[in-house]
Amino acid sequence: MEELKNYYRKIAKYSSASSLLYWDMQTYMPPHAGPYRAQVISEISSYAFKMSIDDVLGKMLNEANPENDIDRAIIKVGKKDYEKYKKIPPELFEETMRTATISEQEWQYAKPTGDFSKVKANLEKLVELNRKIADILGYEDEPYDALLDQFEPGMKAKKIEKIFTPLREFTIQTLEKIEKEGKNPPLVNPKIAVEKQKKFSEELIKYLKYDLNKGRLDVSAHPFTNPIGLNDVRITTRYIEDDVKDSIYSTIHEFGHALYALSIPEEFYSLPIGSSASYGFDESQSRFWENVLGRSLAFWKGIYKNGIIDILPELKEHTVEDIWRWVNEVKRSYIRTEADEITYNLHIILRFEIERALINGQLQVKDLPDIWNELFEKYIGLKVESNTIGCMQDPHWYGGSFGYFPTYSLGNIYAAQIYQRLREEIEFEKLLEEGNFEPIKQWLTEKIYSKGRIYEPEELMTLVTGNPPSVEPFMNYIKEKYSKVYEISL
């Protein structure tokens, strides 16, 4: 068994090197270094991939003698991964990695102008490569399911559709009622210098107890979290002078991801069970910390009471209730990462429908801007004037991630269901007002983080809350919260 674990630890070291190179590419790498960096990342990642499908590993998995339940979980999850990815030819994996890295670099340069022609060719190639991977992995109903399963094990597109259809209807109805009947939040939104925002974000992560001995906060075009290796999980944010909410909630969101990664048992590191249960579960934690906790009145009372607000006197001149209503403002908007809790899911549903059609062959890449603009106006009610704020605003497709987007809304749904259970067992609001996050972290660690990837999402949710995933707790959470924010009955 120890031989098997050591083999996985060796793979993890190569993956760690690749992750560090990717983090540098997104933060500090000189622009002209891009093409060579793509070669390096793809080669190292491909080497790690080849090790993960080597016959040697298959033999060790079959011959390992588990001594306890953890060992049995390692073998179970390891075999599932091995059997799945053994199907993919290493040359296809390397080509996909190389194309994705180059494509994402192209996206970074082309996004400011919204010139889709500069990213179209490699995006077409990525779609075709992902279709090949889907065919190789196999599926029952549609190719998209094979890719979705890589991010949310056990999930199917038809099941997502059944969840998203009532969610879309509920969201649009709620949005329209708020717009017609709700009492508008106060106008706050001052211009705040980047240096002040930076200081606030730094104090915020200290307040939340992000361990800077095991991570760091940097800046990138699109905020992200990157687990580099053992005790090294890095986050980024961004600063916009006339939108301080963006930096505040980008920072808290990424903190949620990092907390999950850093709270998984150290002995699980590098092993098949040493990550989050799924991307949806991972997102549930970033959305929990960002929205359920970070946009609550109790949290902002703690920010005022503990003096963190002093860094931003432009906000301090407003009452805590006004700030709370302001950070929960519901408004149709173009940018997903800046969207409020209610309209956010419309952004995800749109992306799910598009990428599903792309992978299933019902939509061509050349038609992506047009279908984006059409659906955006239909669901969100805004006319898109530029690809920069349209189909080129996110890096996911240009980095080859198809099947990822639905996990964001699943994260919202999971977070609300987890919150419903958590508040039954601990004094949530009281702790937030005190700025005491440790009991909350301990509860989440015991119920979720300590399990790593031992359980698949549906099984873990049932263990945590007593019920399988459901959209009802999220709808109830929205009704309860926004009835208070907008002083109406939802």
Residues with catalytic annotation?
Answer: 254
DSSP state of 1: -
**Which residues are 232's β-sheet partners?**
229
Residue 330's contacts (CB-CB under 8 Å, 6 or more residues apart) are 175, 178, 179, 182, 340, 341, 342, 343, 482, 485, 486
Residue 413's contacts (CB-CB under 8 Å, 6 or more residues apart) are 163, 167, 284, 469, 470, 471, 473, 474
Residue 329's closest CA among 392, 243, 254, 411? Answer: 243
Residue 228's contacts (CB-CB under 8 Å, 6 or more residues apart) are 16, 19, 20, 23, 234
Type of residue found at 218: D
CB 415 within 8 A of CB 281: no
Q: Edge-to-edge strands of the sheet including 225-229?
A: 217-219, 232-237, 225-229
**Which residues are 233's β-sheet partners?**
227
Query: Position of tokens 């609550």?
Result: 296
Q: How far apart are CA 275 and CA 453, in angstroms?
A: 6
Residue 131's contacts (CB-CB under 8 Å, 6 or more residues apart) are 143, 359, 361
CB 30 within 8 A of CB 58: no
Residue 439, both tokens: 């009991």
Residues 188-192: contacts with CB within 8 Å, 24+ apart? Answer: 188/315, 188/318, 188/322, 188/323, 188/326, 189/242, 189/243, 189/244, 189/245, 189/326, 190/244, 190/314, 190/315, 191/241, 191/242, 192/241, 192/244, 192/312, 192/314
- Relative to beta strand 217-219, strand 232-237 is parallel
Residue 487, both tokens: 């002083």
At residue 94, φ and ψ (nearest 5 deg) are: -65, -40
What is the enclosing helix (H) or strand (E) of 237?
A: strand 232-237
Q: What angle do CA 33, 35, 39 make, to 5 degrees?
A: 110
Residue 203's closest CA among 290, 306, 287, 317? Answer: 306
Q: How far apart are CA 390 and CA 382, in angstroms?
A: 11
